[in-house]
Amino acid sequence: MKVAVAGAGGAFGLKHLDAIANIDGVEVVSVVGSPRDDLSELAKARGIAHNTRDLADSLARKDVEAVILATPTQMHAAQTIACLKAGKHVLVEIPMADSLADSKAIVQAQKETGLIAMSGQVRRFNPSHQWIHNKIKAGELKVLQMDVQTYFFRRTNINASGQARSWTDHLLWHHACHTVDLFQYQTGGTATHAFGLQGPMHPALKIAMDMSIGLKAADGAICTLSLSFNNNGPLGTTFRYICDNGTYIARYDDLYDGKEQPIDLSGVAVSNNGIELIDREFFAAIKEGREPNSSVAQVLPAMETLDRIERSFG
Protein backbone atom coordinates (compact mmCIF):
# COMPACT_ATOMS: atom_id res chain seq x y z
CA MET A 1 0.00 0.00 0.00
CA LYS A 2 1.37 3.39 -0.99
CA VAL A 3 0.58 6.39 1.20
CA ALA A 4 1.27 10.09 1.55
CA VAL A 5 1.91 11.87 4.85
CA ALA A 6 0.96 15.56 5.06
CA GLY A 7 2.51 17.64 7.81
CA ALA A 8 5.46 15.26 7.61
CA GLY A 9 7.94 17.74 9.09
CA GLY A 10 5.91 18.38 12.25
CA ALA A 11 6.10 16.52 15.54
CA PHE A 12 3.28 14.10 14.78
CA GLY A 13 4.07 13.77 11.10
CA LEU A 14 7.45 12.39 12.14
CA LYS A 15 5.77 10.06 14.62
CA HIS A 16 3.63 8.63 11.82
CA LEU A 17 6.66 8.20 9.55
CA ASP A 18 8.44 6.30 12.33
CA ALA A 19 5.35 4.16 12.93
CA ILE A 20 4.87 3.27 9.27
CA ALA A 21 8.51 2.15 9.09
CA ASN A 22 7.52 -0.66 11.47
CA ILE A 23 4.54 -1.83 9.39
CA ASP A 24 5.08 -4.38 6.63
CA GLY A 25 3.42 -3.85 3.27
CA VAL A 26 3.10 -0.06 3.53
CA GLU A 27 5.32 2.47 1.76
CA VAL A 28 5.37 6.26 2.07
CA VAL A 29 5.73 7.58 -1.49
CA SER A 30 4.99 11.26 -0.89
CA VAL A 31 5.39 13.79 1.91
CA VAL A 32 3.77 17.20 2.18
CA GLY A 33 5.07 19.99 4.38
CA SER A 34 5.14 23.70 5.06
CA PRO A 35 7.73 26.14 3.69
CA ARG A 36 9.59 26.00 7.00
CA ASP A 37 10.20 22.23 6.66
CA ASP A 38 13.31 20.92 4.90
CA LEU A 39 11.30 18.35 2.99
CA SER A 40 13.96 17.42 0.46
CA GLU A 41 16.36 16.36 3.21
CA LEU A 42 13.60 14.54 5.08
CA ALA A 43 12.53 12.66 1.94
CA LYS A 44 16.12 11.81 1.04
CA ALA A 45 16.92 10.54 4.54
CA ARG A 46 13.87 8.28 4.55
CA GLY A 47 14.00 7.14 0.92
CA ILE A 48 10.74 8.82 -0.05
CA ALA A 49 10.45 9.56 -3.76
CA HIS A 50 8.24 12.67 -3.78
CA ASN A 51 7.95 15.80 -1.65
CA THR A 52 5.82 18.88 -2.10
CA ARG A 53 4.42 21.94 -0.34
CA ASP A 54 0.97 21.38 -1.87
CA LEU A 55 -1.33 18.52 -0.81
CA ALA A 56 -2.99 18.68 -4.25
CA ASP A 57 0.27 17.43 -5.79
CA SER A 58 0.14 14.28 -3.69
CA LEU A 59 -3.58 13.77 -4.31
CA ALA A 60 -2.94 13.92 -8.06
CA ARG A 61 -0.52 10.99 -7.89
CA LYS A 62 -2.06 7.71 -9.06
CA ASP A 63 0.21 5.67 -6.80
CA VAL A 64 -1.10 7.33 -3.62
CA GLU A 65 -3.90 5.18 -2.19
CA ALA A 66 -4.23 6.73 1.25
CA VAL A 67 -3.24 9.89 3.11
CA ILE A 68 -2.36 10.62 6.73
CA LEU A 69 -3.03 14.24 7.70
CA ALA A 70 -0.84 15.55 10.52
CA THR A 71 -1.46 19.15 9.56
CA PRO A 72 -2.73 22.17 11.55
CA THR A 73 -6.18 21.67 13.05
CA GLN A 74 -7.73 24.50 11.07
CA MET A 75 -6.89 22.67 7.83
CA HIS A 76 -8.27 19.25 8.80
CA ALA A 77 -11.83 19.46 7.51
CA ALA A 78 -11.05 20.91 4.08
CA GLN A 79 -8.09 18.59 3.56
CA THR A 80 -10.00 15.48 4.68
CA ILE A 81 -12.82 16.23 2.27
CA ALA A 82 -10.30 16.96 -0.51
CA CYS A 83 -8.66 13.57 0.06
CA LEU A 84 -11.99 11.76 -0.11
CA LYS A 85 -13.07 13.61 -3.24
CA ALA A 86 -9.73 12.65 -4.83
CA GLY A 87 -10.50 9.00 -4.16
CA LYS A 88 -8.00 8.57 -1.30
CA HIS A 89 -8.61 6.90 2.05
CA VAL A 90 -7.72 9.27 4.86
CA LEU A 91 -6.60 9.22 8.48
CA VAL A 92 -6.83 12.72 9.96
CA GLU A 93 -5.05 13.53 13.19
CA ILE A 94 -7.09 14.59 16.19
CA PRO A 95 -9.33 16.55 15.98
CA MET A 96 -10.97 15.82 12.66
CA ALA A 97 -12.34 19.39 12.78
CA ASP A 98 -12.68 22.32 15.15
CA SER A 99 -16.45 22.69 14.76
CA LEU A 100 -19.48 20.43 14.70
CA ALA A 101 -20.54 21.70 11.27
CA ASP A 102 -17.21 20.76 9.70
CA SER A 103 -17.26 17.38 11.46
CA LYS A 104 -20.68 16.64 9.96
CA ALA A 105 -19.41 17.67 6.53
CA ILE A 106 -16.57 15.15 6.81
CA VAL A 107 -18.94 12.35 7.80
CA GLN A 108 -21.21 13.22 4.87
CA ALA A 109 -18.24 13.15 2.45
CA GLN A 110 -17.24 9.73 3.75
CA LYS A 111 -20.76 8.41 3.23
CA GLU A 112 -20.86 9.76 -0.32
CA THR A 113 -17.50 8.26 -1.30
CA GLY A 114 -17.61 5.03 0.70
CA LEU A 115 -13.90 5.37 1.43
CA ILE A 116 -12.19 4.83 4.76
CA ALA A 117 -12.09 8.03 6.83
CA MET A 118 -10.63 7.69 10.29
CA SER A 119 -10.04 10.19 13.08
CA GLY A 120 -6.81 9.98 15.06
CA GLN A 121 -8.33 9.22 18.45
CA VAL A 122 -5.14 7.59 19.66
CA ARG A 123 -6.40 7.06 23.23
CA ARG A 124 -8.59 4.24 21.92
CA PHE A 125 -5.39 2.54 20.78
CA ASN A 126 -2.89 3.19 23.57
CA PRO A 127 -2.28 -0.25 25.18
CA SER A 128 -3.07 1.29 28.58
CA HIS A 129 -6.60 2.24 27.57
CA GLN A 130 -7.04 -0.92 25.50
CA TRP A 131 -6.32 -2.95 28.65
CA ILE A 132 -9.06 -1.07 30.49
CA HIS A 133 -11.46 -1.41 27.54
CA ASN A 134 -10.90 -5.17 27.35
CA LYS A 135 -11.66 -5.52 31.07
CA ILE A 136 -14.85 -3.48 30.67
CA LYS A 137 -16.00 -5.60 27.72
CA ALA A 138 -15.30 -8.77 29.70
CA GLY A 139 -17.44 -7.51 32.60
CA GLU A 140 -14.45 -7.37 34.94
CA LEU A 141 -14.45 -3.59 35.41
CA LYS A 142 -16.97 -0.79 35.58
CA VAL A 143 -15.81 2.81 35.45
CA LEU A 144 -17.21 4.92 38.28
CA GLN A 145 -15.15 8.02 37.61
CA MET A 146 -12.45 9.20 35.25
CA ASP A 147 -10.31 11.96 36.73
CA VAL A 148 -8.16 13.49 33.98
CA GLN A 149 -5.50 16.20 33.98
CA THR A 150 -4.15 17.61 30.69
CA TYR A 151 -1.38 20.07 31.43
CA PHE A 152 1.05 21.94 29.18
CA PHE A 153 3.03 25.17 29.29
CA ARG A 154 2.19 26.81 25.96
CA ARG A 155 2.05 30.57 26.25
CA THR A 156 3.52 30.76 22.75
CA ASN A 157 2.79 28.72 19.62
CA ILE A 158 4.99 25.64 19.97
CA ASN A 159 4.40 22.01 19.04
CA ALA A 160 4.93 18.79 21.01
CA SER A 161 8.67 19.01 20.25
CA GLY A 162 8.95 22.57 21.53
CA GLN A 163 9.31 24.02 18.03
CA ALA A 164 7.57 27.23 16.91
CA ARG A 165 4.51 26.84 14.72
CA SER A 166 2.20 29.16 12.82
CA TRP A 167 -1.17 27.95 14.13
CA THR A 168 -2.91 27.98 17.50
CA ASP A 169 -3.78 24.86 19.45
CA HIS A 170 -7.07 24.59 21.38
CA LEU A 171 -7.85 23.08 24.78
CA LEU A 172 -11.44 22.15 23.89
CA TRP A 173 -11.40 21.04 20.26
CA HIS A 174 -8.05 19.28 20.47
CA HIS A 175 -7.02 18.25 23.96
CA ALA A 176 -10.47 17.76 25.49
CA CYS A 177 -11.43 15.83 22.36
CA HIS A 178 -9.14 13.00 23.50
CA THR A 179 -10.89 12.62 26.85
CA VAL A 180 -14.47 13.22 25.69
CA ASP A 181 -14.17 10.53 23.02
CA LEU A 182 -12.40 8.14 25.38
CA PHE A 183 -14.98 8.59 28.17
CA GLN A 184 -17.84 7.88 25.77
CA TYR A 185 -15.90 4.93 24.28
CA GLN A 186 -15.22 3.39 27.70
CA THR A 187 -18.75 3.96 29.04
CA GLY A 188 -20.52 2.86 25.86
CA GLY A 189 -22.51 5.89 24.80
CA THR A 190 -22.89 9.63 24.45
CA ALA A 191 -22.64 11.59 27.69
CA THR A 192 -26.04 12.50 29.11
CA HIS A 193 -24.58 15.59 30.80
CA ALA A 194 -21.75 17.80 29.52
CA PHE A 195 -20.66 21.26 30.65
CA GLY A 196 -17.54 23.35 30.90
CA LEU A 197 -15.93 26.42 32.40
CA GLN A 198 -13.11 28.35 30.79
CA GLY A 199 -10.66 30.91 32.15
CA PRO A 200 -9.54 34.19 30.60
CA MET A 201 -8.48 34.42 26.98
CA HIS A 202 -4.79 34.88 26.22
CA PRO A 203 -4.38 38.41 24.81
CA ALA A 204 -2.22 37.30 21.85
CA LEU A 205 -3.26 33.68 21.24
CA LYS A 206 -6.98 34.49 21.62
CA ILE A 207 -7.74 31.15 23.29
CA ALA A 208 -8.69 30.14 26.82
CA MET A 209 -5.60 28.92 28.68
CA ASP A 210 -7.46 27.06 31.45
CA MET A 211 -10.55 24.90 31.31
CA SER A 212 -12.66 22.57 33.45
CA ILE A 213 -15.10 20.02 31.98
CA GLY A 214 -17.64 17.70 33.55
CA LEU A 215 -19.34 14.70 31.94
CA LYS A 216 -21.84 12.07 33.05
CA ALA A 217 -22.68 8.78 31.33
CA ALA A 218 -26.05 7.06 31.16
CA ASP A 219 -24.87 4.43 33.67
CA GLY A 220 -23.93 7.14 36.19
CA ALA A 221 -20.18 7.22 35.59
CA ILE A 222 -18.69 10.71 35.73
CA CYS A 223 -15.62 12.39 34.31
CA THR A 224 -13.78 15.41 35.68
CA LEU A 225 -11.31 16.94 33.22
CA SER A 226 -8.90 19.77 34.04
CA LEU A 227 -6.88 21.38 31.24
CA SER A 228 -4.26 24.12 31.23
CA PHE A 229 -1.68 25.75 28.99
CA ASN A 230 -0.36 27.62 32.06
CA ASN A 231 1.08 24.63 33.92
CA ASN A 232 4.81 25.22 34.49
CA GLY A 233 5.52 21.69 35.64
CA PRO A 234 5.25 18.07 34.43
CA LEU A 235 3.55 18.07 31.03
CA GLY A 236 1.08 15.70 29.39
CA THR A 237 -2.10 13.89 30.34
CA THR A 238 -2.82 11.57 33.26
CA PHE A 239 -6.00 9.48 33.35
CA ARG A 240 -7.13 8.07 36.69
CA TYR A 241 -9.78 5.36 36.30
CA ILE A 242 -11.67 4.86 39.56
CA CYS A 243 -13.54 1.58 39.08
CA ASP A 244 -15.66 -0.85 41.02
CA ASN A 245 -12.75 -3.28 40.96
CA GLY A 246 -9.58 -1.25 41.35
CA THR A 247 -8.03 2.10 40.47
CA TYR A 248 -5.79 2.49 37.45
CA ILE A 249 -3.59 5.33 36.20
CA ALA A 250 -2.86 5.65 32.48
CA ARG A 251 -0.08 7.82 31.09
CA TYR A 252 -0.13 7.49 27.32
CA ASP A 253 0.99 3.92 26.52
CA ASP A 254 1.77 2.96 30.15
CA LEU A 255 -0.59 1.79 32.90
CA TYR A 256 -0.24 1.60 36.69
CA ASP A 257 -2.47 0.49 39.52
CA GLY A 258 -3.73 2.93 42.16
CA LYS A 259 -0.51 2.50 44.13
CA GLU A 260 1.65 3.38 41.09
CA GLN A 261 2.75 -0.20 40.47
CA PRO A 262 3.24 -0.86 36.71
CA ILE A 263 0.84 -3.24 34.98
CA ASP A 264 2.22 -5.65 32.40
CA LEU A 265 0.66 -4.77 29.03
CA SER A 266 2.51 -7.37 26.98
CA GLY A 267 0.02 -9.26 24.85
CA VAL A 268 -2.48 -6.38 24.69
CA ALA A 269 -1.37 -5.40 21.18
CA VAL A 270 1.37 -6.08 18.64
CA SER A 271 3.10 -2.83 19.63
CA ASN A 272 3.34 -0.64 22.70
CA ASN A 273 3.16 2.50 20.53
CA GLY A 274 -0.30 4.02 20.20
CA ILE A 275 0.55 5.91 17.00
CA GLU A 276 1.74 2.72 15.33
CA LEU A 277 -1.40 0.89 16.49
CA ILE A 278 -3.75 3.52 15.06
CA ASP A 279 -1.85 3.44 11.76
CA ARG A 280 -2.08 -0.36 11.69
CA GLU A 281 -5.85 -0.16 12.19
CA PHE A 282 -6.14 2.34 9.33
CA PHE A 283 -4.23 0.18 6.86
CA ALA A 284 -5.97 -3.02 8.01
CA ALA A 285 -9.41 -1.46 7.53
CA ILE A 286 -8.48 -0.44 3.98
CA LYS A 287 -7.19 -3.91 3.11
CA GLU A 288 -10.18 -5.66 4.69
CA GLY A 289 -12.79 -3.23 3.38
CA ARG A 290 -14.34 -2.57 6.79
CA GLU A 291 -15.12 0.36 9.05
CA PRO A 292 -12.17 1.09 11.34
CA ASN A 293 -12.32 1.66 15.04
CA SER A 294 -12.33 5.47 15.39
CA SER A 295 -14.00 6.08 12.04
CA VAL A 296 -15.22 9.64 11.58
CA ALA A 297 -18.79 8.40 12.01
CA GLN A 298 -17.92 6.77 15.34
CA VAL A 299 -16.19 9.93 16.57
CA LEU A 300 -18.98 12.32 15.54
CA PRO A 301 -20.80 11.90 18.92
CA ALA A 302 -17.69 13.22 20.67
CA MET A 303 -17.71 16.27 18.41
CA GLU A 304 -21.39 16.78 19.24
CA THR A 305 -20.51 16.67 22.94
CA LEU A 306 -17.69 19.19 22.44
CA ASP A 307 -20.19 21.48 20.75
CA ARG A 308 -22.52 21.16 23.76
CA ILE A 309 -19.63 22.03 26.07
CA GLU A 310 -18.65 25.04 23.98
CA ARG A 311 -22.20 26.35 24.09
CA SER A 312 -22.25 25.91 27.87
CA PHE A 313 -19.39 28.42 28.25
CA GLY A 314 -21.90 31.20 27.64
Domains of the chain: 2-122+275-293 (3.40.50.720), 126-268+301-312 (3.30.360.10)
pLDDT tens across 108-123, in order?
999 999 999 999 999 9
pLDDT of residue 154: 84
pLDDT of residue 16: 98
The overall average pLDDT reported for the chain is: 95
pLDDT at 163 over 80: no
Report residue 160's pLDDT band, with 50, 70 and 90 as the boundaries: low
What average pLDDT score do residues 13-29 get?
A: 97
pLDDT of residue 204: 86
pLDDT at 35 over 80: no
pLDDT tens across 185-236, in order?
999 999 999 999 999 999 988 899 999 999 999 999 999 999 999 999 989 9
pLDDT at 165 over 70: no
Report residue 314's pLDDT band, with 50, 70 and 90 as the boundaries: confident
pLDDT at 175 over 70: yes
pLDDT at 31 over 70: yes
The more confident residue out of 241 and 34 is: 241
pLDDT at 162 over 80: no
pLDDT of residue 269: 97
pLDDT of residue 166: 66
pLDDT tens across 38-84, in order?
899 999 999 999 999 999 999 999 999 999 999 999 999 999 999 99
Label each residue of the chain as H, E or C: CEEEEECCCCHHHHHHHHHHCCCCCCEEEEEECCCCCCHHHHHHHHCCCEEECCHHHHHCCCCCCEEEECCCHHHHHHHHHHHHHCCCEEEEECCCCCCHHHHHHHHHHHHHHCCCEEEECHHHCCHHHHHHHHHHHCCCCCEEEEEEEEECECCCCECCCCCECCCCCCHHHHHHHHHHHHHHHHHCCCCCEEEEEECCECCCCCCECEEEEEEECCCCCEEEEEEECECCCCCEEEEEEEECCEEEEEECCEEEECCCCECCCCCCCCCCCHHHHHHHHHHHHHHHCCCCCCEHHHHHHHHHHHHHHHHHCC
pLDDT of residue 263: 98
pLDDT tens across 92-151, in order?
999 999 999 999 999 999 999 999 999 999 999 999 999 999 999 999 999 999 999 999
pLDDT of residue 155: 84
pLDDT tens across 297-311, in order?
999 999 999 999 999
Report residue 169's pLDDT band, with 50, 70 and 90 as the boundaries: confident
pLDDT of residue 161: 61
pLDDT tens across 277-301, in order?
999 999 999 999 999 999 999 999 9
